[in-house]
Amino acid sequence: MSVEQLSLSGRKKVVSNKEMTFIEKMYLWAIIKGLLTTIKHLFRRKVTIKYPEEVRAFSPVYRGQHMLMRDDEGRERCTACGLCALSCPAEAITMKAAERKPEEKHLYREEKYAEIYEINMLRCIFCGLCEEACPKEAIYLTKSKKIVKADYDREDFIYGKDKLVMPLEMAIQNTVTNTIN
Ligand code: SF4
Ligand code: SF4
């Protein structure tokens, strides 16, 4: 067997440069073949959906936007230990720790808290490692279908505590529900 005939994939075709006939030059057969392909797809299940009217079912392991959790008394759980930032492969988390003052005991659960806590959503890959690393169950990737909104400025993708901390009403609601259950 010559080198020209060798085909590792078994799909090698020898290209012919022979002159096309008049019928071939009209591309009639090619057009019919194309139309048949189109008609075939008319009777198949559509893979596209009419978003936003239709929304696909989310995966059971879907991870949405992060939330910094509060405890049953509405206090922030985070103790600014930095383990989430250390475990983040995208280096998306930054924070600044502060000492809790005696009059702030109702705001922060631990003696140290995150005065500043920021996640760069342009870096985040929603891997969930920050959630895994946290010893205080203080950060969760929600399943709330909350998606980071599109924006024009890069600064707007750096989410601070104003966007990340669990709303107080939600913490109260969770406590009430747990009490009832
Ligand atoms: S989800 Fe992953 S990439 Fe995003 S902040 Fe957490 S550890 Fe970093
Ligand atoms: S979210 Fe958890 S891991 Fe990250 S700094 Fe706060 S307590 Fe530490």
**pLDDT (0 to 100) of residue 109:** 95
Residue 1: inside a domain: no
Where residue 179 falls among pLDDT bands split at 50, 70, 90? low
pLDDT tens sequence across 77-112: 999 999 999 999 999 999 999 999 999 999 999 999
Where residue 143 falls among pLDDT bands split at 50, 70, 90? confident
Residue 75: inside a domain: yes
pTM above 0.85, yes or no: no
Query: Is pLDDT at 162 greater than 90 in this prediction?
Result: yes
Cβ atoms of 71 and 107 closer than 8 Å:
no
Q: What's the CA-to-centroid distance between 134 and ligand 1, angstroms?
A: 12
**pLDDT (0 to 100) of residue 146:** 65
Q: What's the CA-to-centroid distance between 167 and ligand 1, angstroms?
A: 21
pLDDT tens sequence across 42-89: 999 888 899 889 888 888 888 989 999 999 899 999 999 999 999 999
Residue 3: inside a domain: no
Letter string b/e over residues 156-169, b meaning 16 or more CB atoms within 10 A of that residue's CB: ebbbeeebbbbeee
Q: Which atom of ligand 1 is nearest to the CA of 119?
A: 5
For the chain, how many structural domains are there in total? 1
Residue 29: inside a domain: no
Pocket of ligand 2 (CB under 6 A): 78-84, 95, 114, 133-134, 136, 138-139
Residue 173: inside a domain: yes
CB of residue 90 inside a 6 A radius of ligand 1: yes
> Which residues form the domain of 159?
66-180
CATH number at residue 152: 3.30.70.3270
Residue 32: inside a domain: no
3-class DSSP state for residue 131?
helix
**pLDDT (0 to 100) of residue 5:** 72
